[in-house]
Amino acid sequence: MNSAGVSQRWRRPAVAFLAAMFTVCLLPAAALGGSNDYFSFPPEPAPWSYGNVIINTMSPDAKPVTFSHWVHRIRYTCRVCHFELNFSFTKGGTGMTMEGIVEGKYCGVCHNGTAAFGPENCNRCHDGGKGPSKEEFDKLTRDFPKAGHGNHIDWTEAVRHRLIKPVHFLHDRPPRGFPTRNLVLQAEWSGVPPAIFPHTIHRFWLDCNNCHPDPFNIKKKGTPGSNMMAYLNGKFCGVCHGKVSFPLQDCRRCHVTMQ
Ligand code: HEC
Ligand code: HEC
Ligand code: HEC
Ligand code: HEC
Ligand code: HEC
Ligand code: HEC
């Protein structure tokens, strides 16, 4: 898939979202309460496919590669790949090559036949976009706490109950002792209950540098343009929520007091 496909996928829900917002404006706030009826989202992929990145930027003679996030996040935090190893948050943005992988870069940092299967297993990565099966997903995640959307796994609870213990770093230990309080992000609309932002769970998975100074510049105080419409377009909270982390359909996980 190319990036044009991505923007198209988002265009339709964007229009639907505007329509939904229009409806929402005319309704009492209580009626908004947590209901998904006013929002129109793209069809959700199967839980075992949510977070799959199909990498196909290069060559017509290589089958597309599937990178499954759930397979990897069981074992590593986002920080390992998106900070230490510098993988991009944009599909295709890393500019990987097979030569690099064989030399021990990109996927090859781990897929070297020691930490994980080696580069000679062409078809395990070049699987044409299939990704891991439902059977494999069921086997590895059966006992995980459930959620309503995305992977249908409550990853926060899985961490809290120590069902997974992902590695936090390969070489570069994360800093200690920074903000742990929940931030309350007031919606600009009256009648909409605020969203919470818990630093603790985010810093468990991520590095400060994944969010500061971009997309959240704390020196500027507040983040102009941060709203639901932007999230649906993959900005701010929508960098992760809707692609890898639980999606925006799960209103109450952010707007905790929404009815
Ligand atoms: C084992 C490595 C690894 C881990 C762990 C990992 N990622 Fe990724 N992530 C990748 C790779 C590789 C890509 C694709 C990059 C590319 O195409 O250039 C990617 C892409 C993404 C994208 C873009 C997806 C899209 O469809 O546009 C997002 C968002 C993302 N990752 C978020 C996360 C979050 C959040 C976590 C932790 C919960 C995480 N990643 C954990 C390797 C990883
Ligand atoms: C930080 C280490 C790490 C990185 C980086 C990494 N992987 Fe993995 N990957 C693993 C481990 C560990 C496993 C599980 C052990 C195994 O299957 O050998 C795994 C499993 C897989 C699997 C098997 C999935 C299944 O069906 O169970 C595929 C396919 C895969 N990785 C593809 C990739 C691709 C493509 C990249 C680069 C875009 C990548 N990985 C980057 C560590 C990594
Ligand atoms: C660990 C996962 C993994 C394995 C194993 C793997 N590849 Fe790749 N391969 C990739 C990724 C990721 C890319 C970059 C894809 C892109 O950007 O479109 C790639 C790219 C390619 C390309 C495109 C041109 C280039 O040089 O980048 C070819 C051809 C290719 N691989 C062939 C192979 C062959 C043949 C094998 C087995 C000997 C193999 N790959 C094994 C992940 C893998
Ligand atoms: C997932 C993204 C994310 C990560 C990771 C993250 N932050 Fe934040 N941070 C935010 C958001 C969102 C805000 C609120 C911004 C606003 O008000 O516009 C914020 C606000 C802050 C503030 C100002 C408010 C306060 O609580 O004092 C500080 C300081 C801060 N972050 C430091 C850090 C540090 C240090 C780390 C790493 C340990 C970190 N952040 C990791 C997203 C993140
Ligand atoms: C860089 C990636 C990233 C960004 C940006 C991000 N998050 Fe998250 N968030 C995560 C990850 C990873 C988790 C762990 C749960 C998961 O992956 O489903 C998480 C968990 C949460 C939780 C915990 C709720 C629960 O029940 O588990 C809340 C609330 C949340 N995010 C709100 C926000 C808000 C609000 C923003 C924007 C201000 C935001 N996040 C931006 C990655 C991100
Ligand atoms: C990942 C966290 C997250 C999820 C999930 C989420 N929201 Fe929000 N929402 C926010 C944040 C943060 C704001 C505040 C934006 C700001 O700074 O004004 C917000 C603002 C809003 C607003 C005010 C208008 C706007 O665009 O800012 C409405 C209405 C709203 N949310 C409704 C919902 C509904 C309904 C759902 C479920 C379908 C939902 N939200 C899911 C984080 C979230």
Question: Would you state the pLDDT for residue 32?
Answer: 45
Question: Would you state the pLDDT for residue 65?
Answer: 97
Q: Residues 167-180: what's their mean pLDDT?
A: 84
pLDDT digits (tens, 9 = 90+) for 45-73: 999 999 999 999 877 888 999 999 999 99
Report the C-alpha gap between 127 and 123 in whole angstroms.
5
**d(CA 238, ligand 3 centre) in Å:** 29
How sure is the predictor about 164, in pLDDT bands with cuts at 50, 70 and 90? Answer: very high
pLDDT digits (tens, 9 = 90+) for 98-144: 999 999 999 999 999 999 999 999 999 999 999 999 999 999 999 99
Look at residue 23 and tell me whether its pLDDT is greater than 60. Answer: no
Mean pLDDT of the chain: 85
Task: Please tell me if the CB atom of residue 205 comes closer than 6 angstroms to any atom of ligand 5.
Answer: yes
Residue having the nearest C-alpha atom to atom 39 of ligand 5 = 237
Atom of ligand 3 at shortest distance to CA of 119? 5
How sure is the predictor about 42, in pLDDT bands with cuts at 50, 70 and 90? Answer: confident
Question: Would you state the pLDDT for residue 25?
Answer: 40
Task: Classify residue 30 by burial, with Cβ atoms within 10 Å: 0-12, 13-18, 19+.
Answer: exposed
Task: Please tell me if the CB atom of residue 124 comes closer than 6 angstroms to any atom of ligand 2.
Answer: yes
Answer for the pair 110, 210: CB distance below 8 angstroms, yes or no. Answer: no
CATH number of 52-160, picked from 3.50.50.60, 3.40.50.300, 3.90.10.10, 2.60.120.10: 3.90.10.10
Give me the long-range contacts of 49-53 (CB less than 8 A, separation at least 24): 49/131, 50/150, 50/151, 50/152, 51/150, 51/151, 51/243, 51/244, 52/129, 52/131, 53/91
Task: Give 144's contacts (C-beta < 8 A, 6+ positions apart).
Answer: 153, 154, 157, 158, 163, 164
- The most confident of the ranges 1-5, 183-187, 195-199 is 195-199
Q: Residues 15-19: what's their mean pLDDT?
A: 41
Burial pattern 79-102, b for ≥16 Cβ within 10 A else e, equals: bbbbbbbebeeebbebebebeebe
Low-confidence winner among 12-26, 147-161, 180-194, 217-231 (lowest mean pLDDT): 12-26
**d(CA 104, ligand 1 centre) in Å:** 18
Largest CA-CA distance found in the chain, in angstroms, rounded? 60
How sure is the predictor about 218, in pLDDT bands with cuts at 50, 70 and 90? Answer: confident
Task: Give 62's contacts (C-beta < 8 A, 6+ positions apart).
Answer: 98, 126
Report the C-alpha gap between 105 and 82 in whole angstroms.
14
Residue ranges, comma separated, of all CATH 3.90.10.10 domains in the chain are 52-160
**d(CA 126, ligand 3 centre) in Å:** 7
More confident residue, 90 or 35: 90
Q: What percent of the chain has pLDDT over 90?
A: 68
